[in-house]
Amino acid sequence: MSDRFAVAGDRVPVLAEAPQVTPDRARRRRTLRRVGGSEGTAGKAEAGRAPRIAVLDGLRLLAALSVVLFHYLAGSGTVPWQRTATELFPTLHRIAGFGWLGVVFFFMISGFVICMSGWGKSLQQFWQGRILRLFPLYWAAVVLSSTAARLGPQTPGEPRVTVGQMLTNLTMLHEPLGVNHVDTVYWTLWVELRFYLVFSLVVLLGTSYRRVANFCWVWALGSVLAPASGIPLLDQLLVPRWAPFFIAGMVFYLVRRAGRFEAETLGLLALSWLLMQHRLPEVMAWEGHGINWKVCLAAITVMYVLMGLIALGKLDRIQWRWLPVAGAISYPLYLVHQSLGVRVIWRWNEQWGAWPTLLGVIAGMVLVAWLMHRLVERPLTRLLRRMMAAQAESAQKLTA
């Protein structure tokens, strides 16, 4: 497939002929009618920041809540109830056992969103965007989690968090430095950072359909060869266990830009799915999930179908007003739900009762996530953006 499909509706009509209304252009016009825009404004959106896909925000919150339920009711580590979750929540416990799949969905959505947000950006713009999105909330979460670990109720077998450990965690590079996580959920952030690092090669060369597609083919092959190479650095960079999900997300974004599936995108998706099903038992064993492989495979296949519908614009009509808020709180909810919520459950579940504790803690964590978004992310992001702009202005003056 050539780069003429890189921008939706970018064909130049032949003189004296009516512009061809492609399926992608028709979809865009329907979307613009709903939001009161025009094709000119759509072009501006494509040239600047990519338009927000509301349904992805809702799916991010759903993924975060599934991880919350997993950690509260079925995690492979310490489940924070004096009695067993199996006894207290016999049905919900079994369902929550599959909640770890929310992480899988996060990675797939991340492949889609990072490809979308990095499209047409310089390497500096790409990394500035990633820093602004990840670090303000992460820094606040590290401080909150460390404070809770040092001053809050202690769960059985919990290691003590040191000041040095907290400070090293602030870099988000603590795992390769051999320092324990302040909160175990941070392991996914190191996986994300490695994805950003390898995708930076595409951004550096300039994003296009062909470069992204070639990158997906090479990464898929590299993820197969890396474990047998005996080169730890290669295995670290190519993240073989999780690569199929990121690759699928990027391919779905290529489908989104083209407005349809092509033979190449179908081939890439088939390859990612086959690699995923091969890696799935390894993932389940690594996380300690003694649950049904077939059910997990079916659930992930549903994720592929959902992302396919999003890629084709079939879910663009979903524009509920609360969806942007859902997307905004999903990241802070993921960051703090375990370090804070588990302690509250452990300390007070006997006094409050099982269901009031569970529902109250989940509601409380959602509130904390919203407060972090409003009181930490917004002001700190504005401050960092001004600092970055001032630095860029100074650099321009020095080179003038």
* Closest of 263, 220, 199 to residue 5, by C-alpha: 263
3-state secondary structure of 388: helix
What's 20-75 look like in SS3?
CCCHHHHHHHHHHHHHCCCHHHHHHHHHCCCCCCHHHHHHHHHHHHHHHHHHHHCC
pLDDT at 13: 32
- Asked if residue 155 lies in contact with residue 346, where contact means CB atoms within 8 angstroms, the answer is yes
Query: Are the beta carbons of 37 and 18 closer than 8 angstroms?
Result: no
Helix (H, G, I), strand (E, B) or coil at 283: helix
> What are residue 171's phi and psi, to 5 degrees?
-75, -20
- pLDDT per residue, tens digit, the chain (400 aa), is 433 333 333 333 333 333 344 444 555 444 444 333 333 333 333 444 556 799 999 999 999 999 999 999 986 555 678 777 788 898 898 899 899 999 999 999 999 999 999 999 999 999 999 999 999 999 999 999 999 988 888 777 778 899 999 999 999 999 999 999 999 999 999 999 999 999 999 999 999 999 999 999 999 999 999 988 888 899 999 999 999 999 999 999 999 999 999 999 999 999 999 999 999 988 887 655 667 889 999 999 999 999 999 999 999 999 999 999 999 999 999 999 999 999 999 889 888 989 999 999 999 999 999 999 999 999 999 999 999 888 888 877 777 6
Distances (CA, A) of 313 to 22, 167, 302: 13, 43, 17
Burial class (CB in 10 A: 0-12, 13-18, 19+), 154: middle
pLDDT at 364 (0 to 100): 96
pLDDT at 360 (0 to 100): 96
What pLDDT score was predicted for residue 290? 60
CB 323 within 8 A of CB 55: yes
Q: For Cα atoms 283, 94, 248, give the angle at the middle one, nearest 5 degrees.
A: 35
* Token pair 């795992």 in the structure block, residue: 175
Q: Name the one residue in this structure whose structure tokens are 């409003």.
A: 374
Kind and range of the H or E element at 130?
helix 123-151
pLDDT of res. 400: 67
Instruction: Return the pLDDT at 54.
Output: 93
CA 388, distance to chain mean position in Å, is 24
What integer pLDDT is reported at residue 75 of this predicted model?
Answer: 67
pLDDT of res. 52: 78
Q: Dihedrals φ, ψ of 223, to 5°?
A: -70, -25
What is the predicted pLDDT for the residue at 332? 97
- Tokens read off for 27: 């979809």
**160 burial type by CB count under 10 A (0-12 exposed, 13-18 middle, 19+ buried):** exposed
- Please, which residues have CB within 8 angstroms of residue 383's CB and are 6 or more apart in sequence? none
Separation between Cα atoms, residue 383 and residue 381, nearest integer Å: 5
- b/e code 3-20 from CB counts within 10 Å (16+ = b): eebbbbbeeeeeeeeeee
